[in-house]
Amino acid sequence: MFLVCGEALWDLFAVEGGGGLSFDARVGGSPFNVAVGLARLGQEAGLFTGLSTDRLGERLLAALEAEGVATSALVRRENPSTISLVDLGADGSPRYAFYGEGAADRSVITDDLPALGPETWGLHAGSYSLAVEPVGATLLALFERERGRRLLTLDPNVRLTIQPDLAIWLDRLEKFLACADVVKVSEEDLGLLHPGRALEEVAQDWLAKGPALVVITKGAEGAVAFGPAGRIETPGRRVEVVDTVGAGDTFQAALIAGLSERGATARAAVEALGAEEISALLDFAVQAAAITCSRRGADLPRRAELSSPRTEDR
């Protein structure tokens, strides 16, 4: 099983009309989406987060159970559920306003850390749960505990609207990079974290800090990976974009699922992947993200919608 760690919340999409606003509510949160995405891709997945006992939290629980995501690591709290208001730009890119101070998903402490058996081969963490407390310190403690024992993946998914202090993000990211085996980051996030620096320069710097593989997503332009096999780039997929909500989470889930399908469930196996295998892996993840972009909200694809990771034409 792959255990995803971080937040779970409700995305509220504002719809104007009739002189006011109505809201289309969808389950979400980057780690929540990754866990659901893994399950839809045929992987055994679980979620470790604080989940409210309020009605919104109960609906989040029901959604996880309906998707087949393991819920044994959930920590139930009386704290409220986080709500995110989503405003879509003309190009379908989302802008978020979060309401979650004191919410359940931020309340997890080290005493809540789950005991993991041999069936759990990897952990993922990312998004604002890295940079708010006490959950940020809790997830870091989990990564430090499990470093070298399981495959650890990371996606910063920077949210300055929640934690505006960039120094906190950089300090926390430095500590997570020392633990992580595979890092996925968007070009947009790199622009926030390291403005003006070339992608390859940052990727090589991060590789020196610990990860075996660094993957940078570039939106419609595809993705590029850096690691033992060198620089490998794959183009994007043409698609009629409805919005890009959940595209990065879809890429992350497909990246993990692709590694699993190739038997790369430990760091040494990731380091042994050749250029053709990495190229096929990126293509698989780009394909999955494109499907999500063609649908409203974070509606991640199922395995049957995707072709197998392919090496032809590479």
What single letter denotes the amino acid at residue 9?
A: L
Is the residue at 163 inside a domain?
yes
Q: How far apart are CA 33 and CA 170, in angstroms?
A: 24
Q: What is the CATH number of the domain that holds 52?
A: 3.40.1190.20
For residue 130, count other CB atoms closer than 10 A to its CB.
28
At 41, give phi and psi (nearest 5°): -90, 10
CB atoms within 10 A of CB 71: 16
Domain that holds residue 267: 2-305
Single-letter amino acid, residue 285: A
Q: Residue 122 pairs with which residues in a beta bridge?
A: 2, 151
- pLDDT of residue 182 exceeding 70, the answer is yes
Report which secondary-structure segment, H or E, holds 209: helix 199-209
pLDDT interval class at 308 (50, 70, 90) = low
* Residue 313's pLDDT band (cuts 50, 70, 90): very low
Q: If you average pLDDT over residues 78-96, what whole number do you get?
A: 85
Number of domains in the chain: 1
- Cα separation of 146 and 93, whole Å? 35
DSSP states of 115-137: P--TT--EEEEEGGGGTSTTHHH
In this model, does residue 314 exceed pLDDT 50? no
87 pLDDT band (50/70/90 cuts)?
A: confident
Specify if 157 maps to a domain: yes
**Neighbour tally for 93: CB within 10 Å:** 15
Residue 311 inside a domain? The answer is: no
Is the link from the previous residue into 228 a cis peptide, with omega within 30 of 0?
no
Q: How many helices (H) and strands (E) does the chain have?
A: 9, 14
